[in-house]
A and B are shown apart, each in its own frame.
Chain A
């Protein structure tokens, strides 16, 4: 069994090569400890050869989690071969990674990809000379058209494991130190990795202690003095110099000066000072109107599936179960618990696929990085980067793809904060709640919905500021060093594959976490403490839990058990809140909307309704979205922190709104609650304004520790 690692820069066509070589035999997993997809597949037409797709990276320096994963894999799991995809139309930067790959002690095959674009640019590349200079076999490919794939397989099946590349030599001063390091490396460093190890020790990389116990700082310092630079930078400089030397020998470029490419001309409009924002809002409006808007294809497909599941599929299964004699608890579990719960979530699948498709398209075309470029200035003020905007936008449709869209953010901290706050946006399922409260309490005022959207964005920005002050998210402001790849027409296969993979992730979630959670809620709402079937929901376990906890919600305006229970069932799917209230009131809301509205008016004041709305917009999202957060945050501890933060933040915001609002219109004033609200407001302001709000906590803890 041969293992081949696929390595290359982002946008080098690596995914296309992977799809072409492996076809449908792909498996998607996770790299240990990080939320980066690990894809592998069998190479078609080759005997037992597995291709492992490493994340797209620019370098093997441990700057991003992607780079760390790749580096660890290459050095520790040691694939048999490396297949390095090099963008032929962008040789210099792509070869920088190649030069590093040549040091890890594994035979390297170079696929010189995007040859069609290189030729269109007038590039004439001598791939034989390139191979000779690097000591690797080079295959010319145009993966988008499937050209060169057979040649890759041929080279891979004839390559010998001893055919190691010749790493480039640095200048004599550096090589002398490298020699003396090599001589004193630990004996357990494998022969073929000694060059890599010596360079790492010279660079003073964090991993150098794995390779040697000796101290070379005086020798390294001498070289640093001679070059007036740090050792790490000397290596980078000399690598790029070596590349320039190689490229000048193998690449003939047209000398007609710099012509504007099509990509440049598009950017002249799309990222220009005048048109940048209008184009951006136009595209977003288009995405929204295709995927989300009532009457759009995405909406229509989801509406159809929801109706089918609810009106045909579930009754059909129910009839069949009744026919074969299933009844009682088992019947309730299957029909009311599993089918209704999972069905409610799966009903959103078509809409989500449309959304995923559009997002993948925007990404593949190259527009997403332009969005980040345009929006960065705004989001940086709040400690995030431009890339955080996309998930929020998606989140107005559904929080699940919204949270998943945060994956395109490279910086780990920004990605986590974005994944945690995306569900503050009012998603489609929250709109029935908005409609209920706006209709019943505020006479259908459209400002209520508008307030929810602006409130959502505000909550995200404020949370960005607050969360950056926690240790787990703290650190230097995120640098924004991002390639703007040339626009290009994506291949249908790549887009289709990526869309389906994301959709499959969603389905898997519906059948795991959502299944468990809905069964639990179903049980709690259908049974009494004595495990008898509850005749009405008022007798259920859930109702008594609601009674027990409704005091908590009194300060934010809705301390009634019905509303507490409804809020809990909102965890299944946010629109269930409305359905639950309907069940409790004992009327079909479809037929008697006015009755539910009238009833709601009797148990909650206008100010209390604001609290109810604000809390349900901001608190923990539905289980499906929590599942998505779990996946992106990579662990239950981080997920618990996220959900905890959301609930506390929702509570604090609602408390401030309700109590200060009550004060403003001089109703519902309760001194104790008001004091709570004032304290909350002060703490919130403290967290927003003070640079290190947790210092005081550490100080107190430290003092106690000292005593």
Chain B
């Protein structure tokens, strides 16, 4: 899943060319290249198998899980989509955003308003929410070009602060602080599924589609350009990358992912209100990508599991100070897995593989 990263890693300056470039020793080069090719083929096959197993497990979950658990996993998938969106921007492109809760809100409200005011079929509202957020993100990305690092973080933070209040202002459409109540969509084509099961599969399908698209985007030319801008903007420009365009587009794509997640959340929760999209949501997203693993596609899923379940566990452990417990969890994770869950797993996997190779060559 994360081939791009295993090669490039979040280490500045370490791009594919230097790592995969031919070693100096000409005789060794062919052997080494062949070795790399077989390892990669084997790696690809096992990754594909892992992916298929995961999808099979995900599809089987509704058979064993209660509707409530399914609802929680549906939320995990929604968060995962949002986290991948934020990760494309922050992890891969190096632009920090403390305001992606705002795009989540825009996506959710796009869906809610289209269903509530214009009776649009909910299926159509999801791509529209993505599109609206893409445009919003792209436009926000243009002025954001002038801002770097912490300054950009502050500008996006302002976005997160402003959006809930702006939502209250357009009361005619948004229902003000009362919000908009929606109905949960039932399964179409008279499928024998409960509303929760149907939403679970719908979210899973959107997740697979968006993860596939995201993976494809990030492993190719565009992905290399996005990462190059993060690692060395001047070098990237010298190589002919249109930095402004790529940065704005990345912002747009990132916002679109988060918008789709927001749209799905509006359907799953069947209610939107400004209180659901406070600043804390944006911070939660950031926590999710850091814990899950920056610049990692699978990290989005790990991060989503963390932000969905750890607050609940914290509450079960201590009713009096759940957020203190949550803080302890956060620190523990950061201490034990400084590169996020995905980064640590990758490291562990690599060590395991190396150890195994070592024993084999000894024999």
Question: Are A and B a genuine interacting pair, yes or no?
Answer: no
Q: Using a CB–CB distance below 8 Å, which chain B residues touch chain A? A: none
Q: Using a CB–CB distance below 8 Å, which chain A residues touch chain B? A: none
